[in-house]
Amino acid sequence: MSTVKYFQADELIAFATKVFVGTGMSDADAAVIARDLVKANLRGIDSHGVSRIPMYVERLQRGLVNPRPEVTVEKVAGAVSIVDGNNGMGFIASHKAMAEAVSLASRNGIGLVGVHRSTHFGMGALYALQAIEAGYISMIFTNSSPAVPMWGGRTTFLGASPIAAGIPGGKYAPYVMDMAMTVIARGKIRLAAMKGEAIAEGLALDVHGNPTTDAAKAFEGVCLPFGGVKGSVLATLMDLMSGVLTGANFGGDVRSLYFDHSEPQNVGHLFFAIKPDLFMSPENFEARMDEFYERIKKLPRAAGVDEIMMPGEPEQRREEERSKTGVPITANVIADLTREGERIGVAFPRGRSEGEAA
């Protein structure tokens, strides 16, 4: 088991910001990405947190990602716009796209924004939370590099292509959904490989099409879709809506974030924003969300279950906890980040061991 140290969110954000500035990014863009990565760690989605910094930096330094993109927005219909990410970090284009979707929805009731020439956009919940903060319902689609077979195939073709969605609550936790089309997020397999840990059976195949519990072999092989054919069908939808519709790469053409350094990815995303008071007053909507929340809390629980929670509520509670106790980071990730910082001239924070006073 790897040794773990704990870090305050602010010190990780400061470190990550300096690292990305060191690659040529603007202070503002670097800070956005740093906050987004640490947000993933705070919510317990460590596979999409600061452990990804070395990989992002490599792509920036290889010229595969534009450190200072001119992200443009073009209105194409009454409530529809398209964003050109200019091959910059997907976080930047995606925040701009969600802001545009909310702006369109504020005038039209609904806003739809496509994105092309983007790259990996991190944790999908980032954009659902952005819309919730503005008071809007959202849905977020993306495609990604091949990781999943088309149903009946044995080679990768579709991406893990997560879908995310958010619905503002009243006085209780909002609904936040963020899930890949695989049994387990590919980033979690990558994190297990980095830690030298095994994965459970039934999650992936190796490059030869054989079942494996070796995380490294699984990461190089094929992730299996959740729910069998149903997961494959949903992954197909993500590729069609995010890739074919938006003008981005599709059908196996999105370049691998990890293994393909030949050219930019050209990932596609699709963002929906919806006013929650289209059919009733805002007060009535919030009251109905509260009623829904209270009803699920009163449901009979299955054996061994202490509490039934709204999707996104476990992550919200974890964020509250880690904001106080610190973000746990394993020794191998600390080593990677320390080396990355040294190359750019940025010191990685010391952190604290378990039991050490904050």
Tokens 């091949």 belong to 146
Query: Helix, strand, or coil here: 42?
Result: helix
Identity at 111, one-letter amino acid code = G
Is-contact 343 153, C-beta < 8 A? no
Query: Helix, strand, or coil here: 339?
Result: helix
Residue 187: the pLDDT is: 73
Closest to 297 (Cα-Cα) out of 288, 308, 286, 285: 308
Q: Cα separation of 72 and 280, whole Å?
A: 34
Q: What is the pLDDT of residues 190-219, one digit of tens each?
A: 788 887 889 988 888 888 888 899 998 888
Read off the pTM.
0.92
Residue 1: the pLDDT is: 47
Query: Structure tokens of 250?
Result: 């599709």
CA distances from 187 to 226, 334, 348 (A): 15, 17, 23
For 261-344, strand residue ranges (E) read: 267-274, 327-330
Q: What is the mean pLDDT of each run of 10 residues along the chain (358 residues)?
A: 87 98 98 98 96 96 97 97 98 98 98 98 98 98 92 86 96 96 80 85 84 88 87 96 98 92 96 98 98 98 97 98 97 96 95 76
> Which residues does residue 214 pair with via DSSP β-bridges, in sequence order?
198
Q: Cα separation of 344 and 254, whole Å?
A: 29
Q: Cα separation of 67 and 272, whole Å?
A: 27
Mean pLDDT of the chain: 94
Q: Cα separation of 205 and 222, whole Å?
A: 5
Residue 357: the pLDDT is: 55
Q: 191-195: long-range contacts (C-beta < 8 A, 24 or more apart)?
A: 191/46, 191/47, 191/51, 193/218, 193/219, 194/51, 194/332, 194/333, 194/336, 195/2, 195/330, 195/332
